[in-house]
A and B are shown apart, each in its own frame.
Chain A
Amino acid sequence: MTIRPFRLTLLGLSLLIPLALAAVVLFLLSFSWQAIGYSGFSFITHEFFNMGGIDGDPVTVRGVSVPAGADYGILVFILGTILTSGIAILIAVPLSVGAAIFLAESIPDKFRPVLSMLVELVAVVPSVVFGLWGVAVLVPFIGNILGPAISHTLGFISVLGGGDSGGGYGLLAASVVLALMITPIIATTLLDALLQVPKENRESAFALGATHFEVVTKAMMPMVRTTLIGGIVLALGRALGETMAVLMVSGGGSNAMPSSIFSPVATIASFIVSQLDSAESDPTNMAVRALAEMALVLFIITLVTNAGAKVLSSGVLNNVRNRKH
């Protein structure tokens, strides 16, 4: 085998990608090792994150030095992450499905590129600009108009505010901003799939006397279902790790279980950014290690989600199904 310096150089450059990924995982793992040992499973089962008395003398527990009373539990942030992303998906799916269907079937070919470009552009607006818009427009809207309206009419349901709609910052604001950010991912995935449905399938549905809308919902949508679900899971992966926009509109309610859609929430990502400053003042460094463990948990959650999206969109499931029949 001959040595090809040119190929080897390029291979070296491309190996930097897996190397970077490995470095990220290994550094987070080794840095948070003590925190993992200290907290064990209580890290994901205990509700609240308590840095302990970081101003007092540290105590030694199970061989590691920690601030007295430190108890690192992140259940509340796992819940916050799942709730914000879950509600965002509930809002984004109908919006993006409707938008994609309208773009694919109702818009003349001449205008489709312009409108689909506008949808794609939503995806490139920086997260922090979404957050700014959330603070300037969405939060006052929820706080002054939408919130009071919901809690007046449906206030008897406790998750809808129970009569108290807060100031606008909170779970609903975070979910709406996230929904807007992930809509283009779902919409463009679905739009591409709809445009690829064979003409014969549409025409045979028309020939059976279906209305145009029935052609779309009953003949075309079932064909692109797997792609749609893949797009939704991909969008979920994006929403779970989103930081700045959520941080800016969620009300920064660390350490409190959200009780209604107007409660302040914190996600794993937003909590890491908001707490690193105070964690740095922990003389034992354990709080910073616990935050590293949170980053690791977030990495695992998004990894599993994205792997799910990949399996769905690669059509592995389709092939399995086809083989059975």
Chain B
Amino acid sequence: MSATASTETARAAKPVRSAQEVRRIVTSKIGWIACGLALILVIGPLIDIVWVVTYNGVSAFSPTLFTSSTPPTGVGLWNAIEGTIVISILAMAIAVPVGIGAGIYLSEYGNNKLGNTIRFLSDVLTGTPSIVLGYFSYICLVGALGWGLAAPAGAVTIAILVIPYLARITELALRQVPNTMREAAFALGAKEPTVVFKIILPSAASGVVTGALLALAISVGETAPLIYTAGFSNYPVDATAPIHSLLHNQIGYLTYVIWSFIEQPDATSHALAFAAAFLVMLFVLLINIGVRLAVKRTKFV
């Protein structure tokens, strides 16, 4: 009965829609269409970037990419792939212990003025443009300390760049471990290192690993801080030379190839730039999608 009543009121209400009401409804419709278009314009370029880079990257793909080096040495990317791996591994070797250690301190013992100061300065460092960090390394590490253009200077710069991220993500992950677990461990007589390494870190492992993976993705995708710290080389790392030569010679990396080869006039260089971009993008997107699917909707950054 009430159903018939409401349909009747609806039917009765329909004809008396005033001009103002119509205007409001039309405005709302236009507003929604504009918002939908905005969403398409935000996601559209991402899809176009992935499409353009994948299409050009895949058509430039060949096994020689992994066997020969960038022109004039060869027509491949091996030196750049190798260099990116070397720089990223070195950077992670510095950043992971420091970043996770700092995160542990901030989460477990940092609820005081000192902790807040470190947190604040860490945010300042996160907001510092990467080129400023790169320039610092250029005058300090490459120049004043005499490291020269080589992998260590590049890796330290990348490490400075990602440590604040890593510390913040580790801190957030550790704070999600319930306090009762800490209390239980201490009640059993465990010392601080035991509590941290045996109880808290394992419980927060997924968050900490997420942080390390995101840091790795950032380090593979960076360009500006490397140009004047790692330099660039068209030659692969000389496997026969002693290991310290790796630390004193300029080294190639993929993002440099993207930047400089797209500005060359010839099609071969363009193809290499796209192939390098495809490798970098694939790596960065796979890490980020994987992390987001594994850790459902946890906002870290």
Contacts and interface: CB of A to CB of B under 8 A. Distances in A.
B53 A133 contact: yes
B178 interface: no
B78 interface: no
A99 B131 contact: no
B25 A241 contact: no
B127 interface: yes
B224 A273 contact: yes
A132 B131 contact: no
B43 A126 contact: no
A184 B117 contact: no
A306 B136 contact: no
B201 interface: no
B131 A295 contact: yes
A121 interface: yes
Contacts, number: 254
A13 B105 contact: yes
B237 interface: no
B167 A122 contact: no
Nearest to A217: B31
B131 A269 contact: yes
B252 to A, nearest CB: 14
Interface residues of A, number: 83
Interface stretch (A14-22, A62-70, A256-264): A14-22
Contact of A13 (B25, B102, B164, B228): B102
B42 A183 contact: yes
Contacts of A137: 48, 52
Contacts of B52: 133, 136-137
Most buried by B among A6, A94, A106, A298: A6
B234 to A, nearest CB: 17
B129 A241 contact: yes
Contact of A128 (B98, B221, B228, B299): B221
Given A241-B131, A243-B131, A16 B56 contact: no
Interface string A194-224: 0000000000000000011110010000000
A4 B196 CA distance: 14
Interface stretch (A52-60, A111-119, A149-157): A111-119
Interface of B: 24-25, 27-29, 31-32, 34-39, 41-43, 45-46, 48-49, 52-53, 56, 97-98, 101-102, 104-106, 108-110, 114, 117-118, 121-125, 127-133, 135-136, 138-140, 144, 160, 163-164, 167, 191-193, 196, 217, 220-224, 227-228, 255, 258-259, 262-263, 273-274, 277, 280-281, 284-285, 288-289, 292, 296-297, 299
User: Nearest 6 A-B pairs (CB), nearest first?
Assistant: A241-B129, A98-B38, A126-B221, A13-B101, A213-B28, A14-B102
27 contacts: A9-B101, A17-B102, A17-B118, A17-B167, A28-B132, A28-B136, A99-B38, A99-B41, A106-B35, A113-B296, A117-B292, A118-B43, A120-B288, A127-B224, A128-B221, A129-B221, A180-B42, A213-B29, A217-B31, A237-B127, A241-B129, A244-B224, A288-B139, A295-B132, A296-B132, A298-B132, A299-B132
